[in-house]
Amino acid sequence: MKFSEGFDARRLRPRTPGNWRRRLSALLAALSAALGVSLAVAGAASLLGRAPQLDSLNEAPALAGAVLAAGVLLTWCAFALWRRYRRRLRRANDLSMAPHLMKKRN
């Protein structure tokens, strides 16, 4: 099948609204990951006894362990969300046709 002169591949792409919501969500997920990492570092430093600024965490090791666990959990969830939003951002640029229907090029 020959393509006509007026063929435009952009017509095959789905019309989607702006990706600003997904970009904002990915940014918030990345910021949450940074917050989670800082919480985890603060909890670990308090458990090791190297944080003189965190007196309340130094006095209660259980609280320091809870902060460490919350930081690790927040980091894990935020990275999962960030990856999900990044995947969705990149998927919007794919063609709508199935790959086996495209012309073979060697």
Domain boundaries, the chain: 20-92
Answer for the pair 103, 71: CB distance below 8 angstroms, yes or no: no
Residue among 103, 80, 77, 93 nearest 19 (CA): 93
The amino acid that residue 32 corresponds to is S
Answer for the pair 22, 85: CB distance below 8 angstroms, yes or no: yes
Q: Is 35 exposed, middle or buried (0-12, 13-18, 19+ CB in 10 A)?
A: middle
C-alpha radius of gyration, the chain, whole number? 24
Q: pTM for the whole thing?
A: 0.65
Each residue's pLDDT, cut to its tens digit, for the chain (106 residues) gives 565 666 666 667 666 666 788 889 989 999 999 999 999 998 888 888 766 676 666 677 888 889 899 999 999 999 999 998 888 777 655 555 666 666 666 5
